[in-house]
Amino acid sequence: MQSELRKRLIEAFTDAGGEFLSGQHLAEIAGCSRTAVWKHIEELRKEGFVFEAVKRKGYKILQTPEKVSADEISLGLKTAFLGRTIHYEESVSSTQKIAHRLVTDGVSDGTVVVAEEQTSGKGRMDRQWHSPKYSGVWMSVILKPNLPPPRAPQLTLVAAVAVVQAIEELTGLMPQIKWPNDILVGGKKVTGILTELQADSDRIKAVIIGIGINVNQQYEDFPEELLHTASSLAIESGKPISRASLIQSVLSRLEKLYITYLQNGFHPIKLLWESYAISIGKNIIARTLTGEIKGKALGITEDGVLMIEQEDGAVRQVYSADILL
Ligand code: BTN
């Protein structure tokens, strides 16, 4: 009886799409008193739901504890091969690690690893990637293109365009890309992409594209040191986002763009990527492992490499760096 009532409350919040619902309205929907509504909201909080309560406005749902099961992702997935095999894990050290192992075991092209939590999420340049439970998309996509290894970095940019389009579709936000693959909303990072390779000397065996999207975290979920630079889609859009729908959208857009890339080359992807790029035409500092390069970001080459024009007119090509705007 009680759980049926809570189910009705949850349905009402889902239909409200992130808007406030008054206690009176909730009481009418659930068929109970306003005091009972309050008690059930407290119960839901204990289960992991996060609500904002404001006097005279009522309650607004900020975060649901939904688990993203492989079945839920498969159910609405409109792809031909990407995500047709999903490895779902509750808690892993890193989905990249699992994906590497699966490649060695011989999994099929398009296999995806999704985890609710990563205890040792890997970022670029040997950094850690903060991956708390139930609040983000932590996944690794395994692709097996018949390409030479130097072309692998282009696939990172293919993935960045796919994630930007999926975020636009689901949230209405307008994300931008900071070279090579940071996705920002309101100047703060909401997504990071890490591409790793298994390759012979002349052929790629598999590309593992690790995608980390901060989805439903609230301010208090971020460690102090990330608060000024990172954000989540829920914070930026003011509403919770379905992680399963976001995964489905990323996979279907990635599949389309990947097929375009294989059939028509990098140029169409480059044009799309540049239309979302934040740093092009601006004076930037590229912090590489060997030092800093200052100058104007001219654009990317047909290989996805960043070109920076220094004050003396010399143009430098940057393969790996952190960009400061
Ligand atoms: C970056 O530093 O910007 C890249 C972050 C990539 C994080 C993702 S989360 C899923 C996958 N598994 C990992 O351990 N890292 C990537």
Which amino acid is residue 183, in one-letter code? I
pLDDT score of 1: 38
Angle among Cα 98, 100, 104 to the nearest 5 degrees reads 115
Identify which of 98, 101, 125, 211 to mutate to test ligand 1's pocket (most ligand atoms within 8 A of the CB).
211
What class does CATH assign to 279-324? mainly beta
Q: How far is the CA of 30 from the centre of ligand 1 (A)?
A: 42
Contact 159, 211 (CB under 8 A): yes
Atom of ligand 1 nearest to the CA of 181: 3
Domain ranges of the chain: 2-63, 70-275, 279-324
Which tokens in the block code for residue 163? 């994630």
Lookup: tokens for 26: 């909730």
Model pLDDT, residue 64: 67
Please report, in tens digits, the pLDDT of each residue of the chain (325 residues total): 346 687 678 778 867 878 999 999 999 988 899 999 999 898 888 767 789 999 999 999 887 666 777 776 887 788 999 998 999 999 999 999 999 999 999 999 999 999 999 999 999 988 999 999 989 999 999 999 999 999 999 999 999 999 999 999 999 999 999 998 899 999 999 999 999 999 999 999 999 999 999 999 999 899 999 999 999 999 999 988 989 899 999 999 999 999 999 999 999 999 999 999 998 999 999 998 889 999 999 999 988 899 999 999 999 999 888 898 7
Q: How many CB atoms lie within 10 A of CB 244?
A: 21
Distance CA 227, CA 23 (A): 33
**How far apart are the C-alpha atoms of 7 and 11, rounded to whole Å?**
6
User: ∠164-209-134 over CA atoms, to 5°?
Assistant: 70
Predicted confidence at residue 44, as pLDDT, reads: 82
How far is ligand 1, taken at its centre, from the CA of residue 15, in Å?
Answer: 32
60, 19 in Cβ contact below 8 A?
A: yes
pLDDT the model gives residue 2: 44
Q: What separation in Å is there between the alpha carbon of 182 and the centre of ligand 1? A: 11
220 vs 10: CA distance, rounded Å: 23
The SS3 assignment for 278 reads coil
Give pLDDT, residue 8: 79
Which residue matches tokens 């395994």? 142
Q: Which atom of ligand 1 is nearest to the CA of 136?
A: 9
* Mutate which of 181, 194, 217, 246 for ligand 1 pocket (most atoms within 8 A of beta carbon): 194
- The CATH number that domain 2-63 falls under is 1.10.10.10
Q: How many angstroms separate the CA atoms of 87 and 17, rounded? A: 30
CA of 200 to the centre of ligand 1 (A): 24
Cβ proximity of 261 and 91 under 8 Å: no
| Peptide linkage before 150 cis (omega within 30 of 0) | no
At the top level of CATH, the class of 70-275 is: alpha beta
What residue owns the CA closest to ligand 1's atom 7?
212
Q: How far apart are alpha carbons 5 and 149 in whole angstroms?
A: 56
User: 221 to each of 135, 214, 217, 230, 234, how far by Cα in Å?
Assistant: 9, 10, 6, 11, 12
Q: SS3 of 131, please?
A: strand
Length of the chain: 325
Predicted complex ipTM: 0.99
Sheet holding 306-309, edge to edge: 315-318, 306-309, 291-300, 283-288, 322-324
Residue 72 sits at φ, ψ, to 5 deg, of -60, -40
